[in-house]
Chain A
Amino acid sequence: MRRRLPTACAVIAFLVLLGQPLGQAQGFLGNGLKPAVPVPADNPQTDAKIRLGAQLYFDTRLSADNTISCATCHDPRTGWANPHPTDTGIRGQVGGRNSGSIIDAAYMRFQFWDGREPSLEGQALGPIHNPIEMGETLENVVAKLNAIPGYREQFQDVFGTEANTGGIARAIAAFERTVVSGPSPYDAYLLGDLSAMTPEALRGMRLFNGKGHCTPCHSGPLFSDQGFHNLGVGMDKPKPDLGRYDHTKNPADKGKFKVPTLRNVAETPPYLHDGSAKTLLEVIEVYNRGGVANPWLDPMVLPLDLTAREMGDLVAFLEALTGPVPKVDVPKFAEGPGAPADPKGGLR
């Protein structure tokens, strides 16, 4: 009996600990259904504001030469992203980074690859006065919009003022908050539809949270820890893009880029901050090699030793994260004395 007592105690203690709810886990699990879209208190959603934001989103007159709209690089026909590796702005100028999708951007704590803007409102204005992208001054944009009676009336209705930069930002942000993904096969699976995902996707799901080492960064309902990590992509170039470091100037941030959401990721090639991966498989191959060696490589990025089948399974799982996105047509634009709006909304 004396010998058995420690064993019995240990087994009982084990069973008690095992019985504790898994909800207390670190939090890397639970890539489940998304919560409601967060809306800032100073910019509540209204139908009129969303309609105004949609017009601004597609209006090429926000750019210096009236050729580029937000939709030019965040194209609703291609997953609200740019199908090209990097942006092409006014006068054919080429940027250095891939235009990420705006799908579910409303949930992100940081905007842009380097996270330099904390809000959608801040992000909305950035490309307008970026000399490579839309190349217009905010003053000119405000003046152009106030010269168009239809816009002036809408701004009065929505904000009670003439068009101004704050209103432009809030309206575009309000529209972008409607561009969210709906339930995916993965969500349906979580809700109990065991046939919602293919066997390949199910194997990929297990890999995602295991040997694929994806979950430490791609966690939570959005599959993003909303943090910044260095995979080394592009760090082997003579003048690498240092990402987050350019904003924080913290040496530890060199080569770090925002972890994007993986919701609807299958619709938004190419991938990575420089658009260097044409397919999801190419992205996984980067990870399988352990990223690209550089002094700031994230210590969790290690070679994975995945087989071809395992990589295919991971792709299948990522494809199962695709949910419906609201269909948005190019709106009718208010016209004024200046140049007319592009009826295609800047779509190429």
Chain B
Amino acid sequence: MKPRHAAWLGLAAIALLACVPQESQSVPVFARKYGFNCTMCHSDFPRLNDFGQRYRMNGYALPGRENEEKSVLETSAPVALRTSAGYNDERLDTPGGCDNAYAFEINGLDLLSGGLLGRTVGYFMIYVPQIAAARGVAEQEGGLEMASVVFQRLGSSWVNLRVGRFETACVPFSVKRSLSVSPYEIYEAAFPGGVPFSETQSGIEVSGWGKLPLRYAVGLVSGGETNLADDPPADVYARAAYVIGAGEGQTMGQRIGVIGYLGKAPSEADSAGARQTFSRFGAEASLNAFHCNLALQYLFGQDDAELWPGAEENDEVSWSGGFAELSWRPQVGRVVFARYDWVDAPSDFNADVGRATVGARHYFGDNVALHLEYSHRTEKSWWGSALAGGDDTTLSFFTARVDFAL
């Protein structure tokens, strides 16, 4: 299928989904510990609503009900599985040629577990099994993606300690719970050889929330896998957010915040050499009105020039980017979304990225969604290559899949 045809097909299907009335059903899944339906925490699975966000911030215990919670030793373990299957159509145009791939595929598998290990100790894990590529099966790298323990309310809800491997609080819009399949480009961007900003990290994080409209988190983590075994953890980050109105800014209320990350990593060219510093600063906002959510993220990066081969020496390299995503629930059990991502690469590296994504999800149940998405990505050259000029690289991606969890 030609990308233009795929785009029109996708847009037509999305428009159709937005118009046709349909009833929604629900089945308890990951919330089987409580007997809740999943919409208790995910109004639009997999995105968390305000209740779910507060549940997560509280270390996987219902706020105000901590003394009545049962641990995993007293209940069946809340283990869940998430996968998706459907049709993918991808066309990559590079200066060297064109590459098409389209197939019906199973798109990975996540095994999740979460709950309480004790009265005030929560945990959350995601295990991703390794899956070899085959016709009809998308390749997946295996590993323990997340495994963290949360010591809740050390004195009050203003002090919660998370230890282990987790999605850091300085990524305000979870990539694991994104509505779209297409990644947030700014969270993927890094200096050559660097790990994506959204990568789960191992370390400790202290966070807090309460009756005041402030939220905070600070963390110390090991950093990306390019660090060596004898490199001590040196990456620190902080996030502060202000919540306006009732809610956590997920589906109700408004949230604005700032983030900062200071890290160290070796350059790709000298992986055993001294570590260089890099930093990220940004602002985020999640605004809600009339069943719409506008998510805004801006991130500014400033890296030691040695992390960017080819950059002028003794210089710091700056770059920036972000995204604006609008999601709207026109009807019960249906959400449509549109997002624009951009990355302004360092001026020495003609690798700016622009990406436009539109999609829709129609929920047959709380935990089963038909997902349609079209995304068009343009990049001036490959990340890390010092090639300037030349033709753009474009990627057109369409998917129609069923996303489900149980």
Residues of A within 8 A of B (CB): 3, 6-7, 10-11, 13-14, 17-18, 20-22, 24-30, 199, 203, 206-207, 209-211, 213, 215-216, 229, 289-291, 293, 295, 297-300, 302-305, 307, 309-310
Contact = CB atoms under 8 A, between A and B. Distances in A.
Given A6-B142, A14-B81, A210-B38, 11 more contacts: A7-B131, A20-B77, A25-B34, A209-B28, A209-B40, A210-B366, A211-B49, A229-B64, A290-B253, A293-B246, A307-B291
B64 A299 contact: yes
Chain A contact surface mostly: loop
A300 B32 contact: no
Contacts, number: 143
Contact of B54 (A6, A199, A289, A299): A299
A25 B76 contact: yes
Contact of A29 (B35, B38, B211): B35
Contact of A26 (B34, B43, B127, B132): B34
Contacts of B329: 305
B129 A7 contact: yes
B286 to A, nearest CB: 13
B313 interface: no
Contacts of B248: 302
Given A206-B25, A206-B26, A300-B65, A305 B36 contact: no
Contact of B69 (A24, A26, A30, A295): A26
A10 B142 CA distance: 12
Given A7-B129, A302-B51, A28 B63 contact: no
Contacts of B65: 216, 300
8 contacts: A6-B130, A11-B111, A209-B37, A213-B51, A302-B54, A307-B291, A309-B332, A310-B332
A30 B36 CA distance: 11
Nearest to A214: B40
Interface in B39-93: 39-40, 43, 49-51, 54, 58, 62-65, 69-70, 74-77, 79, 81
Nearest to B27: A206
A24 B75 contact: yes
A22 B35 contact: yes
B247 A211 contact: no
Given A22-B32, A293-B246, A295-B211, A303 B39 contact: no
Given A7-B129, A203-B24, A303-B246, A17 B76 contact: yes
Contacts of A3: 130, 132, 142
Contacts of B239: none
A6 B109 CA distance: 13
B64 to A, nearest CB: 5
Given A6-B129, A303-B253, A307-B332, A26 B247 contact: no
